[in-house]
Structure 1
């Protein structure tokens, strides 16, 4: 079963090809990468990673 929510770091970073922590937080701050908050923790939905990659692919095709 695929995880639905990824901890921001390191799992979301690994799902994005090993991006650094700073870059992942930049993507979150800019709104490029969607997150959800549960209690005091922040997670990146796996679907948000897929959406971000799809946007990158569309930009590359243009």
Structure 2
């Protein structure tokens, strides 16, 4: 009976830890997507700025 309680307890702890890890992974994915979007926007803005400077220099 004591062994069964230990097994159930260990299984519960493993499930709780797995849930926490999956929650952390979800948040990391969300943060990664936001960071990727920021990098893309900054790249577009920098590219446009460079193109405007380049074309303004030709006039």
TM-score grouping bracket, smaller chain normalisation = 0.3 to 0.5
Of structures 1 and 2, the one scoring higher in RCO (CA 8 A, sep 6+) is 1
Q: TM-score, normalised by structure 1?
A: 0.31
Q: Per residue, is there more strand in 1 or in 2?
A: 1
Q: TM-score, normalised by structure 2?
A: 0.32
Q: Per residue, is there more helix in 1 or in 2?
A: 2
